[in-house]
């Protein structure tokens, strides 16, 4: 039996280490993501530039400016080198929407929705199954409609008093508690949801592949109180 010379053996070992190291370093990341919004391009003190107000009367997306006022507004805030949007309502309700013409999201490729939010104040005494106020919410709406022609929507809420995981049905809108004031407030919380799985559980069947709008929401009108919730880093991801 022939044995490798010490020099040849050294070359073989080094070659094997280089090969395996290269193979490990080039292994693909199986998670892909698209940032839909992080508010970094927006101006502090102003409404977020890409978002719109959907007017049900005009059936159109309109600029935010005329719909913002001191008691119901979404404003970009800068804090510690980061920008985000703050929802504030005082006995009112307000929403802003990002239409599908401004983002590319296919659930078959990116089923996961992730975002950060922080509840600074939640409406006192609110609970979505009785007093329907939510200090903060993210709606995902679909082209599929109910028998009244209303779009089906999943409303992920930061609830004042219902525990995480609670589901409340309001017809075409299914409310799912994604975060709860019962767990405390005042800190950033990251939420990740599998939207197709949530849709199948809440509505049955498969969702349309492309949601047609994402809406940020805040309301305190029923409790006549105050809500203040921050939103940031809205991202869609592959599994």
The tens digit of pLDDT for each residue in 149-191 reads 889 999 999 999 999 999 999 889 999 999 999 999 999 999 9
Instruction: Compute the radius of gyration of the chain from its Cα atoms.
Output: 23
Chain mean position to CA 207? 17
- What is the DSSP track for the chain? -PPPPHHHHHHHHHHHHHHHHHHHHTPPPS--EEEEE--TTSPTTS--TT-BEEETTTTEEE-SGGG-BTTEEEEEEEETTEEEEEEEEESSEEEEEEEGGG----TTT--EEEEEEEEEE--TT-BTTTB---SEEEEEEEEEE-TTSPEEEEEEEEESSSPTT-EEEETTEEEEEEEEGGG-SSSEEEEEEEHHHHHHHHH-SPPPSS--EEEEEEE-TTTT-EEEEEEEEEEEE--
Q: Is the pLDDT of residue 7 over 70?
A: no
What's the token pair of residue 178? 């994604």
Nearest one of 226, 203, 64 to 136, comparing CA atoms = 226
So what's the pLDDT on residue 76? 98
Q: How far apart are CA 239 and CA 228, in angstroms?
A: 32
So what's the pLDDT on residue 21? 41
* pLDDT, the chain, mean: 88
Q: Is the pLDDT of residue 19 over 60?
A: no
Q: How far apart are CA 172 and CA 153, in angstroms?
A: 6
In sequence order, what are the residues at sequence separation of 6 or more whose Cβ sits closer than 8 angstroms to the Cβ of residue 89?
71, 72, 218, 219, 220, 221, 226, 227
pTM of the model: 0.86
| pLDDT tens for each residue of 89-101 | 999 999 999 998 8
Q: Is the pLDDT of residue 54 over 80?
A: yes
Q: Is the pLDDT of residue 121 over 70?
A: yes
What's the token pair of residue 164? 């995480």
Residue percentage of the chain with pLDDT more than 90: 77
Nearest one of 54, 94, 141 to 86, comparing CA atoms = 94
So what's the pLDDT on residue 28? 52
Q: ∠ at Cα 35 (189, 226), nearest 5°? A: 40
Residue percentage of the chain with pLDDT more than 70: 88
So what's the pLDDT on residue 29? 58
Q: Which of 50-64, 85-99, 114-128, 223-237 has the lowest mean pLDDT?
A: 50-64
- CATH number for the domain whose boundaries are 32-237: 2.60.120.430
Categorize the per-residue pLDDT at 59 as very low, low, confident or very high, splitting at 50, 70 and 90. Answer: confident
Find the mean pLDDT for residues 21-47.
77
So what's the pLDDT on residue 13? 37
Q: How far apart are CA 161 and CA 66, in angstroms?
A: 33
Q: Where are the domains of the chain?
A: 32-237
Q: How far apart are CA 193 and CA 187, in angstroms?
A: 19
Q: Is the pLDDT of residue 203 over 70?
A: yes
């Amino acid at each position: 039996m022939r044995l490798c010379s010490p020099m040849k053996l050294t070359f073989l070992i080094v070659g094997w280490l280089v090969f395996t190291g290269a193979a490990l370093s080039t292994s693909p990341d199986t998670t892909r993501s698209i940032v839909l919004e992080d508010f970094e391009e927006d101006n502090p003190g102003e409404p977020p530039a890409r978002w719109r107000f959907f007017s049900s009367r005009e059936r159109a997306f309109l600029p935010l400016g005329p719909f913002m006022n001191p008691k119901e507004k979404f404003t970009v805030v800068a804090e510690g080198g980061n920008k985000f949007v703050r929802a504030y309502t005082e006995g009112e309700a307000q929403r802003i929407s990002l239409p599908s013409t401004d983002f590319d999201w296919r659930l078959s490729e990116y089923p996961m929705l992730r975002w950060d939010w922080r509840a600074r104040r939640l409406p006192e005494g609110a609970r979505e199954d009785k007093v329907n106020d939510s200090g903060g919410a993210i709606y995902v709406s679909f082209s599929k409609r109910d028998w009244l022609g209303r779009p089906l929507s999943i409303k992920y809420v930061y609830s004042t008093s219902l525990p995480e995981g609670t589901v409340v049905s309001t017809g075409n809108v299914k409310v799912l508690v994604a975060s709860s004031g019962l767990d405390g407030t005042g800190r950033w919380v990251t939420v990740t949801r599998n939207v197709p799985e949530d849709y199948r559980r809440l509505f049955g069947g498969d969702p349309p592949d492309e949601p047609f709008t994402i809406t940020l929401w805040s309301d305190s009108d029923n409790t006549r109180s105050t809500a203040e919730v921050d939103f940031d880093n809205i991202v869609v991801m592959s599994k």
